[in-house]
Amino acid sequence: MNSDASRRRDVTVADVARAAQVSKAQAARALGNYGAVSDDVRERVLAAAEELDYRPNELARSMNTGKSHTIGVVVGDIENPHFGLATRGITDTAKRSGFNVILINTDEDTAAEIDAVRVLLDKRVDGLIVAPASSVETHHLRRVHESGRPLVLLDRKAPGLDVHTVAVDMEGISHDSTTYLINSGHRRIAFISTLRTDGPYRDGMPLDSSQISDRRDGMKRAFVEADLELPDDLIRLNAGDAESIKKITRELLQRPDPATAIIASDGLIGLSVVEAIQELDLSIPQDVSFLMYDDFAWTRLTTPPLTVIAQPVYDMGVAAAEALIRQIEGRKMPAADPEFMAELIRRGSVAAPKAIDVDH
Amino acid sequence: MNSDASRRRDVTVADVARAAQVSKAQAARALGNYGAVSDDVRERVLAAAEELDYRPNELARSMNTGKSHTIGVVVGDIENPHFGLATRGITDTAKRSGFNVILINTDEDTAAEIDAVRVLLDKRVDGLIVAPASSVETHHLRRVHESGRPLVLLDRKAPGLDVHTVAVDMEGISHDSTTYLINSGHRRIAFISTLRTDGPYRDGMPLDSSQISDRRDGMKRAFVEADLELPDDLIRLNAGDAESIKKITRELLQRPDPATAIIASDGLIGLSVVEAIQELDLSIPQDVSFLMYDDFAWTRLTTPPLTVIAQPVYDMGVAAAEALIRQIEGRKMPAADPEFMAELIRRGSVAAPKAIDVDH
DNA sequence: CTGAAAGCGCTAACAT
DNA sequence: ATGTTAGCGCTTTCAG
C-alpha cells in the first residue's frame, strides 16, 4: 500500500555504495566500521545509508564472520518463575555484552532437548546454556562440547561431562534442611518431585536428575547422622500436574503412618501441596510441617508464611551467561565452577510434629 | 583435544557431494529435499551426510531463501509470570509450526523496545510479536508494519496502527469489577499501576498504555453510571519496586479518608500491596478490600483467597503466534481481531467496607 | 534427473 | 585510503 517503503527489496551495501559514489568495500568498511576509511568517505557513506534507511543484514554478516552474537538457551519450562528469573539473568547479561538469546522450552523432555540443541547448532549460535533434563542422557551435550562450541550447564550437573556448570550445592542444603526437620522432631519426612522414573522410589535407586539425586543423598545423610532411617515410602516421584500432586499429598497425609513434614521439590509443586493441605482442612504447621525449594515472593503471604530454600537463581543466570560469553570470546575460564549456595529461610511453616497418635 | 570432531571446519554440502560422488547441486537437493533427485542419488547423499555427520548451516539457508524460521518476541518482563505464560503459549505454538523464538526484554522501556525491534529486524526474523511498552510512541512499530514484516501486538493496543492485536477487553472488565466494588459499598477505590507518567494522575490525563487507559475509562464509566465520581486522588501511577508499592499502599490506607478497596494493576504489584496490608496489621477484606489483575495460582493460597481478574494469557500467546505465522505464510487473516475476555473471579478479598469513621 | 554457474549480502584478502 | 576479487554455504536458474 505504502508509497515507497513497502514492497521494495532491502537496501544493501551495494546500494549505499552507489549512492555515496564509493566502492562496495569502502561502504562496507564505513558501515561495519572496521578497516581504514577517510572521514570524507565515511561521512558520505553514513549519509547515504541514513538517506536510504540502510540496515545491515546480520545473517550475511554472521556468514563470513562465523559469529552470530546469539546464544541459545534451553530450559525445561519458562513458565516456571524459577526459570523465568534465571532467564532474566541470562538475557540481562547477554544484552549487556551485545548478545541475543534464542530460547527453547523442552518440557523437561530429553528428546525435545536433543532436538533443541540441534536446531540451535544449525542456527550457528555462538554458544549454549542448557538446563539438562537428564544428568544421564547427555550424549548430545557431550557432542556439543566436543565439537568445540561453548556450552554451560545450568541448575543441573552432568557427571562425567567436563563442562562449566552453574548449580547450587544441593546435597548440602538438602542435608541441612532435613536435619532441621529432624531436630524439630520429625521422622516421617516426605519428599515430592516431578522427576519421571520407571516405577516408584526404591532405596538406592539411581536418579536421572543430579538435582534430585543430590537432594536424596542429602536427606539420607541427615537421617544416617541422626541414626535414623530415611523413610523410602515417603519419597514420591513422578508427580505430574496439580491434581496428581494433590492426590499424592492426600495419600501422604491420610495413611496410617502419615508424613509429619513434606518437602516440595519446587515452587510449582509446593503450591499444589499447600492447596491440598488446606483442602484437607489441616493446618500448617500444627498438623503438618512444610518446606519447599524456591523462594517465591508469595510464600511470604500465606498464613503462616512458608519456610523455603532460597536459591540465587538470578545470579546463577548471570553467572552462566558470563561464563559462556567469556568462553565465546576466548578468555580464560575461572579455575573451577564456583558453587552457589542455597539458603534455608525459616519462616513459619515448620514446627514440632503433633504428639504421636497412639492408636495401637 | 579430541581425535577428529574437534577443530575441523564444519562439513558442508560440498563435502557431502564429494563423498557421494555427485554434484553440489544434487547433494543440496537431496539434503534440502527439494527439486528432483533420483532414489539412488538421494540414498548415497543421505548416507554420506550421515557418515560425515553433516548439519545444514541454517544461516546460509536463510540467506538465499529469505526465511529464517524465527520469530522475534519483545516483552516488558519475562520474569513476570504473566509474560512467562504468554511466552509459553507463543513458543509452544511456534515450535509446532517449525519456528524458533528470539526473546528480548525491554523492562517496559520504549528506547529498549525500539532497539530490540531493530536488532530483530537486522537478524531478519520472519515476523515480530511485541507487547508495546507504550501505546503512543509507536513509530518504530509503524515502520515495521509498513516495511511489510508481519507484526502482531500482544496485550496492549496501539490506536492508529492497523496491526493485528491480541488483547482483552480491558475497559469492559474494569467497568464490571469496579461496579462490583461499588455495589459492595465502596466509594474510595484505589488503583495502583507501575505506568510511568510525568507527574501524578490528573483527571482526563492521557495515559500512554492502552491497557491502563482502558482500565481507567472502565472505572470512570462505572462511577459515572452509579452517579458517583471517580476519586482521582486514589489513582496512583509510577509505582516502582516492591518498596515503593508498599509505600503507596500505606499512604492510601493511612490518610484521613483512606481507600476502602485497592485494585492492583498486576500480580507483581498485588503481591507487594498485600504484603504492605499485612504489615499494617490490617485484614482483608474486613479492613480493606482487594482486587488484582492476573489470576496467579498463589492467590488461592492466601487467607482469604484473593478475588482476581483472570486473563487467558496462555491462549493469547497462542493466538498471537498463530496470527503471526498465518501472516508469515501469507494466509488470510481473520476478519477482525477477536477480543479475549477477562473474567472476574470472586474469591474472598472483597467485602463491604467498614462502617464509615465518623471522625468529623 | 543432473550439473555448471550465478548469486544472497556481507567481509576479507590482496592489490593499488 | 581505496578498489578488486574472492569467498562464506546454501539455493536456484538454466542447460543439458
Assess whether B266 and B151 both reside in one domain. no
Interface list for A 246-285 with B (CB within 8 A): 271, 274-275, 278
Whether residues B5 and A298 touch (CB distance < 8 A) is answered with no
* Distance from the first to the final alpha carbon of chain A: 85
Closest nucleotide to A54: CA versus each C1': C9
Of B56, B82, B100, the one marking the end of a domain is: B56
What is the CA B64 to C1' C7 distance in angstroms? Answer: 9
What is the CA B171 to C1' C7 distance in angstroms? Answer: 53
Using CB atoms, pick whichever of B58, B84, B298 lies closest to residue A122. Answer: B58
Q: How far is CA A21 from the centre of its chain?
A: 51
Assess whether B195 and B249 both reside in one domain. yes
Closest nucleotide to A66: CA versus each C1': D8
Burial of A273 (0-12, 13-18, 19+ CB in 10 A): buried
Residue B357 lies in a domain: no
Residue A345 lies in a domain: no
Query: Which grid coordinates belong to A190?
Result: 516426605
Assess whether A161 and A82 both reside in one domain. yes
pLDDT for position A358: 43
**Residue A75 φ/ψ, nearest 5 degrees:** -125, 165
Global pTM exceeds 0.85: yes
Task: Compute the distance between CA of residue B296 and CA of residue A298 in angstroms, rounded to an integer.
Answer: 10
Closest nucleotide to B25: CA versus each C1': C3
Q: How many CA atoms lie within 13 A of A41 on its CB side?
A: 18
pLDDT for position A1: 39
- Domain count within chain B: 3
| Nearest CA distance, A119 vs chain B (angstrom) | 9
Assess whether A177 and A137 both reside in one domain. no
Closest CA to A13 of A23, A29, A28, A1: A28
What is the layout of strands, in order, in the sheet containing A261-264? Answer: A235-236, A189-192, A261-264, A289-293, A307-310, A343-345
Assess whether B199 and B245 both reside in one domain. yes
- Collect all residues of chain A within an 8 Å Cβ-Cβ radius of residue B80: 84
Assess whether B93 and B15 both reside in one domain. no
Q: How many CA atoms lie within 13 A of A287 on its CB side?
A: 14
Assess whether A124 and A183 both reside in one domain. no
Q: Comparing A186 with B5, which gets the higher pLDDT?
A: A186
Using CB atoms, pick whichever of A79, A102, A146 lies closest to residue B88. Answer: A79
Assess whether A216 and A130 both reside in one domain. no
Chain C bases near protein Cβ (<7 Å): 1-5, 7-13
**B298 reaches A (C-beta below 8 A):** yes
What element of type H or E holds A113?
helix A110-122
| Nearest CA distance, B360 vs chain A (angstrom) | 35
- Collect all residues of chain B within an 8 Å Cβ-Cβ radius of residue A87: 78-79, 103
- Collect all residues of chain A within an 8 Å Cβ-Cβ radius of residue B79: 81, 84-85, 87-88
Distances (CA, A) of B232 to A248, B197, B204, B237: 50, 15, 10, 11
* Distance from the first to the final alpha carbon of chain B: 85
What parts of chain B have a pLDDT lower than 70? Answer: 1-8, 334-336, 356-360
Closest nucleotide to B64: CA versus each C1': C8
Query: What is the 3 state secondary structure string of B166-205?
Result: ECECHHHHHHHHHHHHHHCCCCCEEEECCCCCCCCCCCCC
Whether residues B301 and A275 touch (CB distance < 8 A) is answered with yes
Residue A341 lies in a domain: no
Closest nucleotide to B37: CA versus each C1': C1
pLDDT band at A356 (very low <50, low <70, confident <90, very high): low
CATH number of the domain where residue B39 is located: 1.10.260.40
Mean pLDDT on A300-327: 96
What is the CA A125 to C1' C16 distance in angstroms? Answer: 38
Residue B153 lies in a domain: yes
Question: Which residues of B13-118 form beta strands (DSSP E)?
Answer: 70-75, 100-105
Distances (CA, A) of B250 to A142, A194, A324, B125, B275: 55, 40, 44, 46, 11
Q: How far is CA A4 from the centre of its chain?
A: 46
- Collect all residues of chain A within an 8 Å Cβ-Cβ radius of residue B147: 5-6
Q: Output the DSSP codes for A235-250.
A: EE----SHHHHHHHHH
Residue A43 lies in a domain: yes
pLDDT tens track for A97-147: 999 999 999 999 999 999 999 999 999 999 999 999 999 999 999 999 988
pLDDT for position B359: 44
Share of chain A above pLDDT 90, in %: 88
Residue B264 lies in a domain: yes
Contact between the CB of A8 and strand C at under 7 Å: no
pLDDT for position A354: 86
Assess whether B153 and B216 both reside in one domain. no
Q: Beta partners for A236?
A: A192
CATH number of the domain where residue B140 is located: 3.40.50.2300
| Nearest CA distance, B116 vs chain A (angstrom) | 10
What is the CA B29 to C1' D14 distance in angstroms? Answer: 16
Interface list for A 40-69 with B (CB within 8 A): 55-60, 62-63, 68
Substitution target in A109, A114, A147, A283 with the highest count of B β-carbons within 10 Å is A147
| Nearest CA distance, B75 vs chain A (angstrom) | 12
Question: Which residues of chain B form beta strands (DSSP E)?
Answer: 70-75, 100-105, 127-130, 151-154, 164-166, 189-192, 235-236, 261-264, 289-293, 307-310, 343-345
Task: Compute the distance between CA of residue A152 and CA of residue A321 in angstroms, rounded to an integer.
Answer: 8
Residue B39 lies in a domain: yes
Range of the domain at A15: 2-56
Residues B32, B35, B36: CA angle, nearest 5 degrees: 115
**Residue A151 φ/ψ, nearest 5 degrees:** -145, 135
Assess whether B76 and B48 both reside in one domain. no
pLDDT tens track for B126-139: 999 999 999 999 99
Assess whether B186 and B248 both reside in one domain. yes
Assess whether A183 and A241 both reside in one domain. yes
Residue A347 lies in a domain: no
- Collect all residues of chain B within an 8 Å Cβ-Cβ radius of residue A102: 70, 100-103
Q: Output the DSSP codes for A118-177.
A: HHHHHTT-SEEEE--S-SS--HHHHHHHHTT--EEEESS--TT---EEE-B-HHHHHHHH
**For residues B103 and A103, is the Cβ–Cβ distance under 8 A?**
yes
Q: Output the DSSP codes for A176-214.
A: HHHHHHHHTT---EEEE-----SSS--TT---S-HHHHH
